[in-house]
Chains A and B, each alone.
Chain A
């Protein structure tokens, strides 16, 4: 009896210890497996996010310690910084137009390349090659080709008796010119859509054809549902990339303006007339040229929030791109 009681006591006191230890062991093991991700996320996402939020409430010029200023930077950016709202409008314009057109043109080019009976490899290379051109070189080439005074495009348009736009020198045409540049490098999306389109089972097309579906209905009811996840991927990564659109508008604006700032000149931000100014340019200008790091952090957070909103809209279930038919 005594033994039994002692034995049961021993067992009852032993069991919780074992379970707890096992839990701890499991926890340690799981954390060990997760540690690369945890360290990476902590160092490269959570810490910068928290630091950015903190700096946005401080005056910080990189020389002296950050000084708490409350909402001053936020008021400055939203109320007093003259470049913020034009840059915001330009960025949203570019996101909506460039992402939409790149996805549409990417799908169209992939379809065309598939439809080509001979020389498919040649056309794949032809469309993909521009994507490999460094952004600065590609932008310079476009600015020279589209130069209103000496560019070959306007010379040809003039000879054809067509209107000759100001392209990168005209506020009304500068963003469409950037869009053309972005479409020229649509090769990355073409490759992804090509793989996705080739993955659609042929039997589905044959069945739809037997049911009397034409090309448009086959695309609508067979192709589109099948490639929808790829479309979402293309749209979301496109939004992220366009939100960070920096090199092309900066180079195009400075080269077209004729002032490269090499001799200490003041260059016009977003030439012409602020039409190529984007939010990342403001982050760089405020953060790394004027060293108003607090205000730069405000714009970085705005960019972050905008990306989240766009991505959430695209990925929301029920009515977004991920919606089931």
Chain B
């Protein structure tokens, strides 16, 4: 008996050492816009931009706002990630943000359904802003969830095709492809094998090839992800299945998953100067409008053009569309200065000059109809391609879900398994994915 005591003590010490716990305190989300917007106050604004040029651009807008609203001072905190946002919104407190922006639209469903962000509809009504007349449809879609407009678009992203003009000319390709069959042919024509690798690749189709996510590619197939009751439709949607099949076919046509994956490991950082399109390792890439700005600001000598990403042959009439997404901005429900916060959000998201100057500065697509039509928007033809994609009525995005981007992760994992050949029965995999998505959504509620 006495011999077992030290033993138990050791076990207890072990137990104490290993426990990993997440027991954050429950905080309510009372909110309530009772503050006087004309009173002198300071609001805290969190955003995720980190590049010096981006920080300067947003600061310029903040300065313009403070000049127009001298009673409101904005304390800006940069480099914020979604994890930090989620944690701060739950923790609340005096140091929590009043206004929050996020690079991803994935968490809008969670922000809205949990009421972490306040519904902005009453604020817009009070300010006489008609959302449908102010913002493009796709942008309004990805900033609301089940009728709760808990965020607004703060610039947009549109995805299109970047192509290397010199490589196109060398391969005898006269214009960018418009259909996926033309695209596949061009990708093969632009690919030069070298031993078990490549000296030049037409297009990197693997899902880890940076922006070649299934959601970005599948947008060309008009997929649906949920039905009106919120149930997953990925097992019955023909577009999504066709997207997986098209990508897998292209992977096989270009040399197979293993060879492509090995080549992918030679790529530099996506957002650095060694991006494979900027180094000439790939001839074509799907990317957002920001890539043009990055190329222009870098030492890259790539002579590039832009075009909408090709569409399936049977949807040729919809050429010009693409996947759209963007940065969103909302007001924390824990904020005690919601009226002042709204003044700031309103300025950033609806003031045409503010939207246009910010969009031009960071090479993003403006997010209001007025700003899109403004003659002050960067007139560079390569940039204008993305303006037109954003305006295209067939452009689409991934819908908000109450558990954030969990369903996209399920679909991404399916893609990894299918492209590598680990999964061969696509329909069974889609059936399982639909079931998993529904289970995950149910678990989150």
Q: Nearest Cβ in chain A — how far from B371, in angstroms?
A: 22
Question: Do A273 and B422 touch across chains, with their CB atoms under 8 A apart?
Answer: yes
Asked whether any CB of chain B lies closer than 8 Å to the CB of A179, the reply is: no
* Residue in B208, B271, B410, B416 whose beta carbon sits within 8 Å of that of A263 in the complex: B271
* Residue in A76, A259, A304 whose beta carbon sits within 8 Å of that of B443 in the complex: A76
Known A148-B262, A288-B83: A264·B325 in contact at CB below 8 Å: yes
Q: Nearest Cβ in chain A — how far from B272, in angstroms?
A: 11
How many Å lie between the Cα of A289 and that of B22 in the bound state?
12
Q: Nearest Cβ in chain A — how far from B294, in angstroms?
A: 12
**5 pairs of A and B residues whose beta carbons are closest in the complex:** A264-B104, A149-B266, A149-B265, A287-B22, A62-B90
Question: Do A258 and B90 touch across chains, with their CB atoms under 8 A apart?
Answer: no
Asked whether any CB of chain B lies closer than 8 Å to the CB of A163, the reply is: no
Asked whether any CB of chain A lies closer than 8 Å to the CB of B408, the reply is: yes
Q: Nearest Cβ in chain A — how far from B362, in angstroms?
A: 13
30 pairs of residues in contact across A and B, judged by CB atoms under 8 Å: A45-B16, A49-B15, A51-B21, A52-B19, A63-B89, A63-B90, A76-B439, A76-B443, A80-B443, A149-B265, A150-B266, A240-B14, A240-B17, A240-B18, A244-B20, A258-B210, A258-B270, A259-B208, A264-B82, A266-B412, A273-B420, A289-B83, A290-B406, A293-B24, A297-B21, A300-B21, A307-B18, A308-B15, A317-B3, A317-B7
Known A76-B439, A268-B412, A289-B86: A258·B267 in contact at CB below 8 Å: yes
Q: Nearest Cβ in chain B — how far from A275, in angstroms?
A: 12
Known A266-B405, A300-B20: A312·B11 in contact at CB below 8 Å: yes
How many Å lie between the Cα of A55 and that of B413 in the bound state?
29
Question: Do B22 and A297 touch across chains, with their CB atoms under 8 A apart?
Answer: yes
B contact residues around A166 at 8 Å (CB): 262
* A273-312, CB < 8 A from B: 273, 280, 283, 287-293, 295-297, 300, 303-304, 307-308, 311-312
Q: Nearest Cβ in chain A — how far from B185, in angstroms?
A: 27
Known A41-B16, A76-B439, A258-B208: A292·B22 in contact at CB below 8 Å: no
Q: Nearest Cβ in chain B — how far from A158, in angstroms?
A: 11
Residue on A nearest B407 in the bound complex, by CB? A266
Q: Nearest Cβ in chain B — how far from A205, in angstroms?
A: 30
Chain B residues near A (Cβ < 8 Å): 3-4, 7, 10-11, 14-24, 26-27, 29, 82-83, 86-87, 89-90, 102-106, 110, 114-116, 197, 208-210, 213, 261-267, 270-271, 325, 403-406, 408-410, 412-413, 416-417, 420, 422, 436, 439-440, 443-445
Asked whether any CB of chain B lies closer than 8 Å to the CB of A248, the reply is: no
Most chain A CB atoms below 10 A, which of B267, B271, B413: B413
Question: Do A288 and B18 touch across chains, with their CB atoms under 8 A apart?
Answer: no
* Residue in A48, A51, A269 whose beta carbon sits within 8 Å of that of B409 in the complex: A269
Question: Do B106 and A264 touch across chains, with their CB atoms under 8 A apart?
Answer: yes
B contact residues around A287 at 8 Å (CB): 22
Residue on B nearest A262 in the bound complex, by CB? B271
B contact residues around A300 at 8 Å (CB): 19-22
Question: Do B16 and A258 touch across chains, with their CB atoms under 8 A apart?
Answer: no
Question: Do A259 and B210 touch across chains, with their CB atoms under 8 A apart?
Answer: yes
Question: Do B115 and A63 touch across chains, with their CB atoms under 8 A apart?
Answer: yes
How many Å lie between the Cα of A55 and that of B102 in the bound state?
29
* A170-201, CB < 8 A from B: none
B contact residues around A236 at 8 Å (CB): 14
How many Å lie between the Cα of A41 and that of B395 in the bound state?
57
Q: Nearest Cβ in chain A — how far from B243, in angstroms?
A: 16
A contact residues around B409 at 8 Å (CB): 266, 269
* Residue in A266, A295, A316 whose beta carbon sits within 8 Å of that of B408 in the complex: A266
Chain A residues near B (Cβ < 8 Å): 41, 44-45, 48-49, 51-52, 55, 59-66, 72, 76, 80, 82, 147-150, 166, 169, 236, 240, 243-244, 256-259, 262-266, 268-269, 271, 273, 280, 283, 287-293, 295-297, 300, 303-304, 307-308, 311-312, 315-317
Residue on A nearest B403 in the bound complex, by CB? A290
Question: Do A311 and B11 touch across chains, with their CB atoms under 8 A apart?
Answer: yes
How many Å lie between the Cα of A257 and that of B408 in the bound state?
17
Residue on A nearest B25 in the bound complex, by CB? A62
Question: Do B443 and A308 touch across chains, with their CB atoms under 8 A apart?
Answer: no
How many Å lie between the Cα of A62 and that of B22 in the bound state?
10
Question: Do B443 and A295 touch across chains, with their CB atoms under 8 A apart?
Answer: yes
Question: Do A266 and B444 touch across chains, with their CB atoms under 8 A apart?
Answer: no
Question: Do A82 and B444 touch across chains, with their CB atoms under 8 A apart?
Answer: no
How many Å lie between the Cα of A149 and that of B26 in the bound state?
48
B contact residues around A259 at 8 Å (CB): 208, 210, 270
B contact residues around A61 at 8 Å (CB): 114, 444
Residue on B nearest A60 in the bound complex, by CB? B26
* Residue in B10, B114, B197 whose beta carbon sits within 8 Å of that of A63 in the complex: B114
Most chain A CB atoms below 10 A, which of B11, B23, B115: B23
Known A150-B265, A290-B404, A292-B443: A63·B29 in contact at CB below 8 Å: yes
Residue on B nearest A296 in the bound complex, by CB? B22
A contact residues around B104 at 8 Å (CB): 263-264
Question: Do B20 and A315 touch across chains, with their CB atoms under 8 A apart?
Answer: no
Question: Do B19 and A304 touch across chains, with their CB atoms under 8 A apart?
Answer: yes
Most chain B CB atoms below 10 A, which of A61, A76, A257, A283: A61
Known A66-B26, A80-B439, A148-B265: A268·B208 in contact at CB below 8 Å: yes
